[in-house]
Amino acid sequence: MKEFLMIALGVLIFVVIFQIAKASEYVSVLKGEEKTRKQNNKINAFMLIGLLVFGLIGVWYCNELYYGKTLFPQGSASVEGEQIDTMLYITIAITGVVFVITQILLFWFCFKYQEKDGQKAFYFPHNTKLELIWTTVPAIFLTVLVVFGLKYWFKITGDAPKDAIVVEVTGHQFAWEFRYPGADKVLGKTNYKLYTAKNNLGVDFEDPASLDDIHVNTTMHIPVGVPVKMVIHSQDVIHDVGLPHFRLKMDAVPGIPTTQWFTPKITTAEMKKKTGNPEFNFEIACDQLCGSSHYAMRGVIIVETMEEYKKWLAEQKSEHSVLFPVTPVEPNVPDSAAKQISQTVPVKK
Amino acid sequence: MSSAATLQHADVHGSHDAHHEHHHHETFITKYVFSQDHKMIAKQFLVTGIIWAIIGGLFSVVFRLQLGYPESTFPWLEDLLGHWAAGGKLKPEFYYALVTMHGTILVFFVLTAGLSGTFANFLIPLQIGARDMASPMLNMLSYWFFFLASTIMFASLFVQTGPASGGWTIYPPLSALGDASSGSKIGMDLWLVSMAMFIVSSLLGGLNYITTILNMRTKGMSMTRLPLTIWALFFTAVLGVLSFPVLLSGAILLLFDRNLGTSFYLSDIVIAGKILPNEGGSAILFQHLFWFLGHPEVYIILLPAMGMSSEIISVNSRKPIFGYMAMVGSVFAIAILAFLVWAHHMFVTGLNPFLGSVFVLLTLLIAVPSAIKVFNWLTTLWRANIRFTPGMLFAIGFVSLFISGGLTGIFLGNSALDLHLHDTYFVVAHFHIVMGVASFFGMFAGVYHWFPKMFGRYLNNTMAFIHFWVTIVGAYLIFWPMHYQGLSGMPRRYYDFSGWSSFNMFNGLNEFISLVAMIVFAVQLLFVFNFFYSMFKGRKVTDSNPWGSNTLEWTTPINPGHGNWPGEIPEVHRGAYDYAKDGKEFIPQNVPVGDDESKAH
C-alpha cells in the first residue's frame, strides 16, 4: 500500500511538472519568446551563483559532519601510515586551493558575464603567455606531489627490515588464515596440491621447517613497535589484505605471493581507550571483489605489547601437533571412527 | 587508399544528388531500421543508449536500497525479482550482479555506444561537410553489432544462475571459475560474447569515423579549422581502435580458460575443495590486458563530452573558444598519455615499485593538459555574453564536475595515497564524478544542443531546467560525501557493512545517499519523457540556425534528408570559432573572408 501511494505521488508530481512545463511554453509565446528567454537567463545566472555559494557552504558543512568520523582524527596506527597521512594533507591543501579558485571563477564568470543588452563579448582567441603560465604552474605543483609521493612510496614498498616478524597471510573464499614460523623462524613450504580438508593450507610436512609452524584462523596477533612483514597468498580468487587503520593494502593473488610490511605503533587496548569504543578492533577488510560473501571476509588484528604477544605465541600449538597428535593411548583410526559414529547418531534421531 | 575512398565518395554524392531530385524510394525498413543514413544511425544509437541508461540506472536504485536500508525488507522486490530477492531482501550474489551490470551497461553500452556512437555518427559528416560516412554500410553494421551485443547482454540478465557478478572489470580467477561464483557460470560466457560483439561494433564505427574525418572534409575544411567536437571524436576513435582489440584478446583468452582448460590466468588454485590442475598462468596478466583498454576507455567516454562542451560553451558565450590549438594539443596529449598509465589501476597488485613510480609520473602528467583545458574554458567565459540554454548549463556543469572529479584523480594517481584509498568509496566518488556524471553532462549538453538538428523541434525548456538543477545538486549530494567514506577506508562493493566495527559510522549517510539517488533517477525519467514527447510534440524549429552557431550542420535545411545538403556542399573559409570578431556576433564557417576583415591572431 505504501509503495502504491509512493508511485501515485510520483506520477502526480510528474503530471504537475508536465502541465507547468507546457503552460510555460504557451506563456512564453504570448509574452514574446525573446523576453522569456532573457528572464530565464537571469534566473539561471542567479541560480548558478547560488549553487556556488551553497555549494561551498555545503563542502564546509559536509566536512564538519564527517571529518570526525574518518580515520584521520585517530591518526595512523602504523609508523609508515603517518607518511601517507602527511602526503594526504599536502594533496588536500594543494587541490583544495585549486578547487575553490576554479569553481569560484567558473560560477562568478557565468554570473558576471551573463547576457545583457548592449554587452558585447570580447574577441580573445588566444594568448601564448597565459597559456604558458597555466601549463607550467600546474606542472610545478605536480612535480612537488610526485616527488613527495614517490619518496614515501619507495620507503613503504621497499624491503622490510631484517628483524621484522614474518606472518604468512592466506585468503580464500571467505576467510583469512595466518601462519607463524615457530622457534626456527622459518615457515615450512606449502604446495597447493597437498590441500586436504584438514591441512587446508597445503603445508608440506616433509619439510622439517614446518613442524613448529603455528596456524591460526581469522585473528592474528602482533606486537607493537616491531616491524611486521606479511607474506600474502590466495588459494582461489584474488583477495586483498586491506588495513585501513594502518593505511595499507595489498592484493592476495593465487600463484603469486606478495608482501607488505608495517610497524604498528599503538595497541588494540590503547586504541579502545583513545577512541572511547570498547568494541574497537583493527580489522582486515577484503578489498578486492571475491564472490558473494566478499563483504563478510573479515579478519582481526590484535596489536599487543611484546610480553602479551610472546605469552600468546607460547600458548599456541604447532599445526603439526594439532593435525598429527602423538597420543600413546589411542591410535588415530578408532578415534576418527568413533567420531563418525557420534556424528551419525543425531541424524538417526 | 585515400584516392579510392574519394572516388567512392564522389560516387555516393552523385547517387544521392540524383535521389534528391527524384525523391526517395524509401520504405519504413530502409528509413528507420536498416538505415544507412548517419543521422538515423545516430538516433538509433541514442535511443538504444537511453533504454540501457534507464536499465542501468534502475539497477543502481535497487542496490542503493540495500546499501541505504540494510535492515529493511521490500516485499515488492520479491514480486519483481523472484528468488533473487527472497523475503524482500536482495541476495548478495544478485547484489553483485546488479553492481556488475550497472558498471558494464553504463560504461560500455551507454557512455561508449550511446555517447560517442550517437554524436560521432551525427556530427562528423554534418560538421566536416560530408554527405555521409565513408562507408555507410559499415556504419549500419556498427549499429547492428551493437544491437546484437545488447541483445546478448540483455538475455544474460535472465539466465538461471544470474548475469555476470564479478565486477565490470571481470578479474579472473573469480570470473574464470564457475565454482567461485554463480555469476561466473553461463552469465559470464554471455558477457564475454556480448563484449566481443560490442568490440566489433566499436571497431567498425571507429575506423569509419577516422576515415571520414581524414578523407571527406569539404573544400577549405583543413584539419585546423575543424570544430573541437570533431577533434575530440577523432581522438576518441583512435583510442578505441587501438585499445579495444587488446580487450578482445583478453576476453578470448578468458573464454579459453573458462571452456577449453587453458591456464592463461590460472595457477595454484583450490576452489570448493577441488584442486585445479592449472599451473603457470598469471591472474595479473588479465589486469594488464584489461586496463590497457580500460584506461583509454575512460577517455573514450570523456573526450566526446569535452569536445561537445567546448563547442557549446563557445557558441553560447558568443566568444571564440580560448586557445583552440592548445585545446587540440591537450586532447592529443591526453590521448597519448591514456595509453601509458594503465597500471595505476594496479598499484596494490604487487607491481614492482619502480614500475609503479613510472606510472605515477605519467598519470600525474595528465593533470597538465587537463588543467590547460579547464583554464581555457574559464577564459572563454571571461568577458563573454553568456546565454544559459539548457545545453550551456549542462556544459558548465560538466566543467564544474570535471574540476571536482579531476582533482581527486591526483590523490589516486599518487601510489602512496592509493595504498590507502584503492578500492574504497573514494574511488567510487572519483570516477562517478569525473567519468560518469561529467560525461553524462556532456551527453545531455549535446542532446539539448543538437536536438533541434536531430528532430526539427526543441526540447521543453522548463523540464530541461528542472532536469539540470536537480541533477547537478543531486550528483554532488550523492558523490561528495562518499569521499569521506573512502577516507575512512570503507571498501567499495560491500553488500552490507553491519558486521564491521570500522565501517558502521556512516549508516545515516548511506540512507541519505540512497534517497537522493532515487530522486535523481526520477528526474532522469522526466528527461526521457521530455525527449520522446518533444520528438513528436515539441515546439517546431523555425530558424535553421537557432543558436547562431558557426559550424556547418546549421547550414543544412531544418530537416535535412539523406545527403544532408540539397544542393552543393558549402565551402569553408574560416575556423569554427569566429564569434565576436570585428564587431559581428558570429561569422559562420562558410562565409568568405571579407576584404576589410582583421586577420585572426
Q: B223 lies in a domain? A: yes
Going by C-alpha positions, the residue among B453, B457, B451, B450 that lies closest to residue B536 is: B457
**Location of C-alpha cell 526521457:** B528
Chain A contact set for B584 (CB, 8 A)? none
In this predicted model, which residue has the larger pLDDT, A283 or B504? Answer: A283
Q: A120 lies in a domain? A: no
Distance separating alpha carbons of residues B142 and B197, to the nearest angstrom: 10
Q: Which residues pair with A176 in a beta bridge?
A: A171
- Cβ of residue A125 closer than 8 Å to a chain B Cβ: yes
Closest residue in chain B to residue A29, using alpha carbons only:
B539
Distance separating alpha carbons of residues B545 and B553, to the nearest angstrom: 9
- Regarding whether A135 and A244 lie in a shared domain, the answer is no
Going by C-alpha positions, the residue among A97, A121, A118 that lies closest to residue A109 is: A121
pLDDT the model gives residue B24: 55
Contact B514, B65 (CB under 8 A): yes
Q: Which residue range is the domain that position B343 belongs to?
A: 2-583
What's the farthest any 2 CA atoms get from each other in chain A? 106
Q: Is the pLDDT assigned to residue A7 strictly greater than 90? A: no
- Regarding whether A263 and A204 lie in a shared domain, the answer is yes
pLDDT the model gives residue B574: 94
Write the residue in A105, A134, A197 that is nearest to B371 by C-beta.
A134
Which amino acid is it at A321? S
Residue B563 Ramachandran class (φ > 0 left, ψ -120 to 50 alpha, else beta): left
Q: B13 lies in a domain? A: yes
- Regarding whether A107 and A176 lie in a shared domain, the answer is no
Q: B596 lies in a domain? A: no
pLDDT the model gives residue B596: 80
B576 to B194, B381, B525, B551, B565: CA distances (angstroms): 39, 17, 34, 6, 19
Tell me the backbone φ, ψ of residue B457, rounded to 5 degrees.
-135, 160
DSSP annotation of B552: G
Contact B321, B224 (CB under 8 A): no
Q: Which residue range is the domain that position A100 belongs to?
A: 36-63+72-114+128-158
Q: Is the pLDDT assigned to residue B539 strictly greater than 60? A: yes
Q: B479 lies in a domain? A: yes
Distance separating alpha carbons of residues B95 and B99, to the nearest angstrom: 6
Closest residue in chain B to residue A174, using alpha carbons only:
B180
Q: Is the pLDDT assigned to residue A348 strictly greater than 90? A: no
Q: A349 lies in a domain? A: no
- pLDDT (tens digit, 9 = 90+) per residue, B37-89? 999 999 999 999 999 999 999 999 999 999 999 988 988 889 889 899 988 89
- What confidence category does residue B352 fall into, taking pLDDT thresholds of 50, 70 and 90? very high
Test mutation, A102, A169, A176, A279, chain B, max B CBs within 10 A: A102
Alpha helices in B260-366 (DSSP H): 283-317, 324-338, 353-365
Report the CATH number that the domain containing residue B57 is assigned in CATH.
1.20.210.10
- pLDDT (tens digit, 9 = 90+) per residue, B194-241? 999 999 999 999 999 999 999 999 999 999 999 999 999 999 999 999
Q: Which residues, 6 or more positions from A172, have their beta carbon under 8 angstroms from its beta carbon?
A: A200, A234, A235, A236, A239, B270
Q: DSSP 3-state assignment of B383?
A: coil
E strands, A126-202, in order: 165-172, 175-180
- Regarding whether A200 and A106 lie in a shared domain, the answer is no
- What confidence category does residue A346 fall into, taking pLDDT thresholds of 50, 70 and 90? very low
Q: B344 lies in a domain? A: yes
Test mutation, B386, B448, B492, chain A, max A CBs within 10 A: B386
Asked whether the ipTM of the predicted complex exceeds the cut of 0.90, the reply is yes
- What confidence category does residue B507 fall into, taking pLDDT thresholds of 50, 70 and 90? confident
- What confidence category does residue A10 fall into, taking pLDDT thresholds of 50, 70 and 90? confident
- Regarding whether A182 and A154 lie in a shared domain, the answer is no
- Regarding whether A48 and A188 lie in a shared domain, the answer is no
Question: A3-7, B365-369, B391-395: lowest mean pLDDT where?
Answer: A3-7
E strands, B373-522, in order: none
pLDDT the model gives residue B75: 87
Q: A343 lies in a domain? A: no
Instruction: Tally the domains of chain B.
Output: 1
Q: B528 lies in a domain? A: yes
**Location of C-alpha cell 593505511:** A247
Instruction: Tally the domains of chain A.
Output: 2
Averaged pLDDT score across all residues of chain B: 92
* For chain A, percent of residues with pLDDT exceeding 70: 93
Determine the average pLDDT of the residues in B134-145.
95
Q: How many CB pairs under 8 A join A and B?
A: 375
Using alpha carbons only, give the angle A102, A103, A107 rounded to the nearest 5 degrees. Answer: 115
B579 to A41, B232, B314, B435: CA distances (angstroms): 20, 21, 8, 30
Contact B129, B552 (CB under 8 A): yes
Q: Which residues, 6 or more positions from B192, have their beta carbon under 8 angstroms from its beta carbon?
A: B170, B251, B254, B255, B258
Tell me the backbone φ, ψ of residue A66, rounded to 5 degrees.
-110, -15
- Rounded to a whole number, what is the distance in Å from the CA of A292 to chain B's nearest CA? 5
β-strands B270-271, B274-275 pairing: antiparallel
Going by C-alpha positions, the residue among B161, B160, B184, B182 that lies closest to residue B171 is: B184
E strands, chain A, in order: 165-172, 175-180, 214-217, 219-223, 228-234, 239-243, 248-252, 258-262, 282-286, 298-304
Tell me the backbone φ, ψ of residue B308, rounded to 5 degrees.
-70, -40
Whether B273 sits inside 8 A of A197 (CB atoms) is: yes
Q: B220 lies in a domain? A: yes
* For chain B, percent of residues with pLDDT exceeding 90: 87
Q: Is the pLDDT assigned to residue B378 strictly greater than 70? A: yes
Q: Is the pLDDT assigned to residue A340 strictly greater than 50? A: no
Write the residue in B93, B411, B494 that is nearest to A91 by C-beta.
B411
Q: Which residues, 6 or more positions from B107, have their beta carbon under 8 angstroms from its beta carbon?
A: B168, B297, B301
Q: DSSP 3-state assignment of A303?
A: strand
- pLDDT (tens digit, 9 = 90+) per residue, A168-181? 999 999 999 999 99
- Regarding whether A224 and A147 lie in a shared domain, the answer is no
Q: Is the pLDDT assigned to residue B600 strictly greater than 80? A: no
Burial environment of residue B9 by CB neighbours within 10 A (0 to 12, 13 to 18, 19 or more): middle
Crossing angle of helices B438-455 and B507-537, rounded to 10°: 10
Please give the order of strands across the beta sheet that includes A175-180.
A214-217, A175-180, A165-172, A228-234, A258-262
pLDDT the model gives residue A343: 43
Report the CATH number that the domain containing residue A269 is assigned in CATH.
2.60.40.420
Q: B75 lies in a domain? A: yes
HSE of B200, CA atoms in CB hemisphere, 13 A: 16
Going by C-alpha positions, the residue among A151, A138, A146, A153 that lies closest to residue B362 is: A146
Chain A contact set for B417 (CB, 8 A)? 84, 87-88, 91, 149
Q: Other CB atoms closer than 10 Å to residue B159's CB: what's the count?
A: 15
Determine the average pLDDT of the residues in B277-287.
94
- Cβ of residue B427 closer than 8 Å to a chain A Cβ: no
**Location of C-alpha cell 564479478:** B166
Determine the average pLDDT of the residues in B273-288.
94
Distance separating alpha carbons of residues A175 and A172, to the nearest angstrom: 6
Chain B contact set for A248 (CB, 8 A)? 419-420
What is the pTM for the complete model shown? 0.93
Q: A190 lies in a domain? A: yes
Determine the average pLDDT of the residues in A296-307.
96
Q: A342 lies in a domain? A: no
- Regarding whether A301 and A217 lie in a shared domain, the answer is yes
- Regarding whether A180 and A133 lie in a shared domain, the answer is no
pLDDT the model gives residue A224: 96
- Cβ of residue A289 closer than 8 Å to a chain B Cβ: yes
Contact A281, A268 (CB under 8 A): yes
Q: Is the pLDDT assigned to residue B22 strictly greater than 50? A: no
- Rounded to a whole number, what is the distance in Å from the CA of A65 to chain B's nearest CA? 10
Give A 126-185 residues with CB within 8 A of chain B: 126-127, 130-131, 134-135, 138-139, 142, 145-146, 149-150, 152-154, 156-158, 172-173
pLDDT the model gives residue A327: 67
Sign of CA dihedral B51, B56, B61, B63: positive
- Regarding whether A171 and A154 lie in a shared domain, the answer is no
Crossing angle of helices B186-215 and B2-22, rounded to 10°: 90
Whether A250 sits inside 8 A of B348 (CB atoms) is: yes
Determine the average pLDDT of the residues in A208-213.
92
Q: Which residues, 6 or more positions from B591, have their beta carbon under 8 angstroms from its beta carbon?
A: B573, B574
Distance separating alpha carbons of residues B167 and B161, to the nearest angstrom: 16
Q: Is the pLDDT assigned to residue A27 strictly greater than 90? A: no
Q: Which residues, 6 or more positions from B397, have their beta carbon under 8 angstroms from its beta carbon?
A: B441, B445, B468, B471, B472
- Rounded to a whole number, what is the distance in Å from the CA of A119 to chain B's nearest CA? 7
Q: A218 lies in a domain? A: yes
Contact B238, B208 (CB under 8 A): no
Distance separating alpha carbons of residues A216 and A232, to the nearest angstrom: 15
- What confidence category does residue B10 fall into, taking pLDDT thresholds of 50, 70 and 90? very low
Q: A221 lies in a domain? A: yes
Q: Which residues, 6 or more positions from B532, have their beta carbon under 8 angstroms from its beta carbon?
A: none
- Regarding whether A92 and A173 lie in a shared domain, the answer is no
- Regarding whether A98 and A153 lie in a shared domain, the answer is yes
Q: A319 lies in a domain? A: yes
Contact A251, B350 (CB under 8 A): yes
Determine the average pLDDT of the residues in B580-585.
89
